[in-house]
Amino acid sequence: MARRVSLPAADDLFRPTGPGVRAVPDAVEEPVLEEPEKPQKPGASGRIRHDEKMTVYVTSDELMAIEQARLTLRGEHRLAVDRGRLVREAISVVLADLAAHGGDSMLVQRLRDER
């Protein structure tokens, strides 16, 4: 007859070990970079639960550039962001530029040059 091993439950493994000690630390807030005053526009959603999903295909060069940007943000600027957040921030910047400058925006200029 095989003996069944009794393992501790997750509550036992991750229980507080003293007064005021939390099993799971509070989330660390990211530093806020101060920017000059500008009109309020919708920004990137940042670190929240996202209900919608969109698939975007990129070339291997574009993916490498995104990954390099992510590593640069981490190594040189101490900002740990994932690729999704980096892309959401980039989209937010481009859309804000389009809203502010219309036909003179970087997006319109680049799309016109692409034709």
2 inside domain: no
91 inside domain: yes
47 inside domain: no
Mean of all residue pLDDT scores within the chain: 81
d(CA 73, CA 70): 5
| 79-96 confidence digits (pLDDT tens) | 999 999 999 999 999 999
pTM, two decimals, is 0.57
Q: Which domain holds residue 79?
A: 55-115
pLDDT band at residue 108 using 50, 70 and 90 as cut-offs: very high
3 inside domain: no
35 inside domain: no
d(CA 40, CA 16): 43
4 inside domain: no
27 CB-near residues (< 8 Å, 6+ apart) = none
106 CB-near residues (< 8 Å, 6+ apart) = 94, 97
| 5-43 confidence digits (pLDDT tens) | 777 776 666 666 666 655 555 555 555 555 555 545 666
| CB-based contact 16:22 (threshold 8 Å) | yes
5 inside domain: no
71 inside domain: yes
What's the structural domain count of the chain?
A: 1
